[in-house]
Structure 1
Amino acid sequence: MKNIFDQTDTSHFIKRINTLSEDSFPKWGLMSVDKMLAHCNVTYELIYEAEKHKKPNLLMKWFMKRFVKPSVVNETPYKHNSRTAAMFVITDNKIFEEERKRIIGFIQKTQQLGADAFEGKESFSFGKLSAKEWNNMMAKHLDHHLTQFGV
């Protein structure tokens, strides 16, 4: 698995993102490329712009921690057409270039902060995560969707 905190690996992700175009079409699923980038940005919004999203109540957070977290933070790739949380569903059209710039900025910021900044950091939905769990969650999600669009 790529390391979102490693400059070489983040450069690899950014190179893949930069090969996308407004006309990129998914190999599976229904999202357009602008919606996919916006969808991927939600992961980073929950870290850097959490006020944009409604916090889960205690019952939902317990459920997420108990049943969803294990499959999100491990190294097993996501299956095609996996279900997603409501906050990750993008229904309105987005501006491709803006979403691309945002995701690249978030990736660069995360890499620059480094693994130490994420060790034991509280997740919006899953409680405290190790830097490895943060990496797995972010890198696996990016790889899944970039592969979805053939890059």
Structure 2
Amino acid sequence: MQNVFLKEDCGQFINRINQLKSDTKPLWGTMSVDQMLAHCNVTYEMVYDNIHQKPNAFMGFLLKSFVKKKVVDESPYPKNIRTAPQFIIKGDRDFELEKNRLVAYIIKTLELGKESFEGKESLSFGKLSSEEWNNMFAKHLDHHFSQFGV
């Protein structure tokens, strides 16, 4: 698994992003490339931007009990896995804007470093270790970049 806290690995993620074009087609799934980039940005918005609501207590319990392990472990996501409602992107997005936002989020995460994420609270899953944060970020990016052949 790649490490979002290592410069070399972040460089590889950014290189993959830079291989995308506004007309790149997915190998599976229904998202367009601009929607995929916006979708990937949601993970970072939940960390850095105060625009997503924390789940209510019941939903939080369900997420921690049944979803968290699959999201933060090292096992890859299967193709066409269901996603949470806030990750569903409808309509067209600005490809360049979403691409630049994602690169900026990757760099910000690298610059903050592993220590900043140790025990950091996730909106959906409660406190996570830096390893769990890494797994969540890295495997999500890898899943969608592979979806678009980069």
Which bracket does the TM-score occupy, shorter chain normalised?
Answer: over 0.9
Percentage of matched positions with identical amino acids: 57
The residue correspondences of 1:44-123 to structure 2 (distance < 5 A) are 44-49=44-49, 51-123=50-122
Structure 1, gaps ≥5 residues long: none
The reply to whether residue 20 of structure 1 matches residue 20 of structure 2 is yes
Cα deviation, residue 147, structure 1: 0.3
* Equivalent-residue separation in structure 1 for 2:121 and 2:79 (angstroms): 28
Letter in 1 for 2:31: M
- Specify the SS of the correspondent of 2:76: coil
* Equivalent-residue separation in structure 2 for 1:148 and 1:118 (angstroms): 27
Structure 2, gaps ≥5 residues long: none
* Equivalent-residue separation in structure 2 for 1:80 and 1:105 (angstroms): 26
Cα deviation, residue 82, structure 1: 0.3
Moved beyond 3 Å, runs of 4+: none
Cα deviation, residue 85, structure 1: 0.3
Aligned to 2:128: 129
Aligned to 2:38: 38
* Equivalent-residue separation in structure 1 for 2:45 and 2:91 (angstroms): 17
Summarize deviations over 1:74-122 as a string: whole Å, max 9, x none: 0000000000000000012100000000000000000010000000000
* Equivalent-residue separation in structure 1 for 2:54 and 2:113 (angstroms): 25
- Specify the SS of the correspondent of 2:115: helix
Letter in 1 for 2:19: T
- The range that moved more, 10-19 or 53-62, is 53-62
Letter in 1 for 2:114: A
Letter in 1 for 2:101: R
- Specify the SS of the correspondent of 2:43: helix
Letter in 1 for 2:64: K
* Equivalent-residue separation in structure 1 for 2:59 and 2:108 (angstroms): 29
* Equivalent-residue separation in structure 2 for 1:106 and 1:54 (angstroms): 19
